[in-house]
Amino acid sequence: DWLEEKNAISDNPAKPAIDSLSLSESEKDRPLITMREMTEFLQSLSSCFVKSWFILLLKTGLRRGEAANIDLRDLHIDHPVYYEFISQYGISMQSEVDSKPDSLFIMGGFNEGTKVRGEVRNFGNKRSRDDGTVIPIDRELKLALIEYILTRPAPDPTSQCSPLFVKQTQDGTKYRITRSSIRKRVFSVLAEHNDWYTRGDSVDKKIDNHDFRHYFTHNHRHMRGVYDDYMPDGLRAYIRGDADSSGDSENANTAR
């Protein structure tokens, strides 16, 4: 593992022996998804909410809780539609992204049940950096987010936070998405697509939210992904919100 992390070898020479063993469920590899399969999956999505959710996970490696915790003030989309939207509802952008067009701010680490911006959060943010992470938004993610915002329920004026991803009840009340709403809206899509998700299946047979984080990580490693480019270890750790243990001090220091 250490040699692979240092890019001294392109593949683990012990892998054939490991694969021949009978491994426990926690040790088994997750399903392999090709770029073509992932592209077909994204193109099959009709819901702007679901499409933006999955593209966000793929582009950033976020955990589901970190995605659920994003507020509109954490998002700077350089587009007239977004500027008009936040101006209409009196939303001010966080200082971390205010001067950084097409960027996203992920708050620093806190636990489930912590009160953040006046709201008790149902998810924690597992960030190793207390000052949070600023992540670039590329063209594909930008388009998906704009399409979602155009269909998103209007922000609740009584909310201090104005979450990005919301659900709306029949009486018009808007809530930040919860575990149950993610399960209902996201896992049902995975279940319908080539049986990617079946409740109760082992890790090596089903695809869930966390697979998209793994997809981001794996495909940005040197000589490991499904395309030719790669991301330096320090930069990848920074975007994922991990402590940088790569020893790559140059990229670790300039990641932000």
* pLDDT score recorded for residue 159: 78
* pLDDT score recorded for residue 110: 93
φ and ψ at 152, to 5 degrees?
-70, 140
- pLDDT bracket for residue 248 (50, 70, 90): low
Nearest CA to 139 out of 85, 101, 175, 195 is that of: 101
Does 27 have pLDDT greater than 50?
Answer: no
Residue 90: C-alpha distances to residues 85, 109, 155 (Å): 9, 27, 10
Does 131 have pLDDT greater than 80?
Answer: yes
For the segment 26-49, the average pLDDT, to the nearest whole number, is 83
Residues in a beta bridge with 119 = 116
Top pLDDT among 118 and 244 is at: 118
Q: pTM for the whole thing?
A: 0.83
Of 24-33, 91-100, 175-184, the poorest mean pLDDT is in: 24-33
For the segment 186-199, the average pLDDT, to the nearest whole number, is 84
* pLDDT score recorded for residue 88: 92
Geometric angle at alpha carbon 54, from 53 and 58, rounded to 5°? 125
- pLDDT bracket for residue 250 (50, 70, 90): low
The pLDDT tens digits of the residues spanning 147-164 come to 999 999 888 877 778 999
For the segment 13-26, the average pLDDT, to the nearest whole number, is 62
* pLDDT score recorded for residue 249: 65
For the segment 217-238, the average pLDDT, to the nearest whole number, is 82
User: Chain-centre distance of CA 11, in angstroms?
Assistant: 27
* pLDDT score recorded for residue 236: 87
Q: H-type helices in 69-151, by residue range?
A: 80-88, 95-98, 139-151
Of 79-88, 163-172, 196-205, the poorest mean pLDDT is in: 196-205
